[in-house]
Amino acid sequence: MSLTAHDCAALDAADPLHATRAQFCLDDAEVYLDGNSLGVLPVATAPRLAEAAQAEWGRGLIRSWNTAGWIDQPQRVGNKIARLVGAAGGTLIAADSTSINLYKVLCAAALAQSTEPGRRVILSERANFPTDLYIAESVARQYGLTLVLLDSETIDAALASHLNANVAIVMLTHVNYRTGRMQDMAAVTRRVQAAGALMVWDLAHSAGAVPVDLTTADADFAVGCGYKYLNGGPGAPAFAWVNPRHAALPQPLSGWMGHAAPFAFDTAYAPAPGIDRYLCGTPSVLALAALECGVDTVLSAEALGGMLAIRAKSLALTSLFMQLMQTRCTTFNFTCVTPDNPAERGSHVSYTTTLDGYAIMQALIARGVIGDFRAPDILRFGFTPLYTRYIDVWRAVDALAAVMTQHEWREARFQQRAAVT
């Protein structure tokens, strides 16, 4: 029993989040399934950027640090993000990049564990997002630790064999960037902490996409990305969260904004209390203004059921996609690598292919369906409930079936490799 385009249109008509798409600059014909890489431009962002540039910077000039609230921007935007990830106010800041924030929290965690000389290992997954591993590799070198990468498909099996008294830190991404597999944050955190290790979560593919409750999970540290499901714009500032019990730990990127008295111009560094010490240099006011608009789009759903409503629609979209793929694309040898179990699924779905996945994605994009390709063999489709419709899911599978049936991906124009896919 397969759904028709008509059925999908009916699902959209009944969707409690149907109206949120109007907050985004998207034509009706656009099927954008790459919000997990770069979220769509909110309607509010360009006017806000114009205001920040022309009124605040242009006319307010240096005075806007006070009059336009620039000085509190990392905390203000951070407190908004906090509502989406179950963090208390005053425990999360928006600034710098995910990689840099990860460096800060991993260094703090390594320092916290330096009193346990037997704990020499940072544990992560080989399948983790590469930049996380690169940063962990650097922090491990700096603190004389060893980075051990888990290979198992399930984190349970991997932890069973590797989580022991040597482990100082476990660093995992909540939703894997390739497979879309989601970890049980509370259970994994409990298990890691029971073994005496500290738990660091990367929420890059979670914040704004799936319900996250850092406080209830009682995690130790978390970082996340501003330009995916938070719709903050290309290269938007990222965020860092630290459990208040670790708030007294130092981090090494000790810039002026993290000082206890940033305008006293002391020569010695004295870290601010709490999360403010995770600020370093001056973050871009324009970039944070755009990020705030993006976060506001997610917060706008609070009146419609918030992250639970977003999650319900996300699962409906990904389930529909997987079902339609099974019905209409089963002969093309795509292998779904995203868990069938909804509890283990984030908000994107991925398939491996033995064919030229890059060319297939290019041919699909030429048909107006934008997903992405991740080397070596992954076709990835992200679903953003605030603007992805059920009819988009139907159109995407329909287009992919056409690309495959009509061998469009074999055309020479789709074979070239570009710098970024």
User: Which of residues 31, 70, 175, 202 is near a second copy by CB under 8 A?
Assistant: 70
Q: Is 104 a catalytic residue?
A: no
Residue 61 or residue 160: which is nearer to a second copy going by CB? 61
Chosen residue from 11, 15, 17, 45 binding a second copy by CB under 8 A: 45
- For a second copy, the closer of residues 328 and 395 by Cβ is 395
Which tokens is 197 given?
Answer: 């290790």
Q: Which one of 12, 18, 99, 300 is in contact with a second copy (CB under 8 A)?
A: 99
Q: How far is the CB of 153 from a second copy (least distance, A)?
A: 16
184 or 356: CB nearest a second copy: 356
Specify the residue, 253 or 299, whose C-beta has the smaller distance to a second copy.
Answer: 253
Taking the C-alpha atoms of residue 408 and residue 405, their distance in angstroms, rounded to an integer, is: 8
- Does the active-site annotation cover 28? no
**Between residue 278 and residue 307, which ones bind a second copy under the rule CB under 8 A?**
280-288, 290
Say if residues 367 and 198 touch (Cβ distance below 8 Å).
no
Six token digits for residue 16: 């409690």
**Contacting residue, 20, 37, 75, 350, with a second copy by CB under 8 A:** 37
* Minimum distance, C-beta of residue 237 to a second copy, in the bound complex (Å): 7
- Catalytic choice (103, 129, 351, 387): 129
Smallest distance, a second copy to C-beta of residue 375, A: 5
Q: Which is nearer to a second copy, 215 or 421 (CB)?
A: 421
Please give the C-alpha separations between residue 203 and each of 86, 109, 172, 265, 267, in angstroms, as whole numbers.
12, 17, 9, 35, 36
CB of 362 to a second copy, least distance (A): 11
State which residue, 191 or 395, has the beta carbon closest to a second copy: 395
Q: Which of 21, 104, 277, 380 is catalytic?
A: 380
Among candidate residues 227, 278, 351, 358, the one labeled active-site is 227
Residues 243-262 that bind a second copy (CB under 8 A): 252-256, 259
1 belongs to the binding site for a second copy (CB under 8 A): no
In sequence order, what are the beta bridge partners of 382?
Answer: 348
Q: Does 13 bind a second copy (CB under 8 A)?
A: no
Query: What span, in angstroms and rounded, lies between the C-alpha atoms of 239 and 109?
Result: 17
Span 161-180, contacts to a second copy by CB under 8 A = none
- Is residue 100 close enough to count as binding a second copy by CB under 8 A? yes
Active-site residue (options: 80, 119, 178, 228): 228
Q: In the complex, what is the shortest distance from the CB of residue 32 to a second copy, in angstroms, rounded to a whole number?
A: 6
Site string for a second copy, 117-156 (x = CB under 8 A): ---------x---xx-xxx-xxx-xx------x-------
**356-395 residues near a second copy, rule: CB under 8 A:** 365, 370, 372, 374-375
Catalytic residues: 129, 202, 227-228, 380
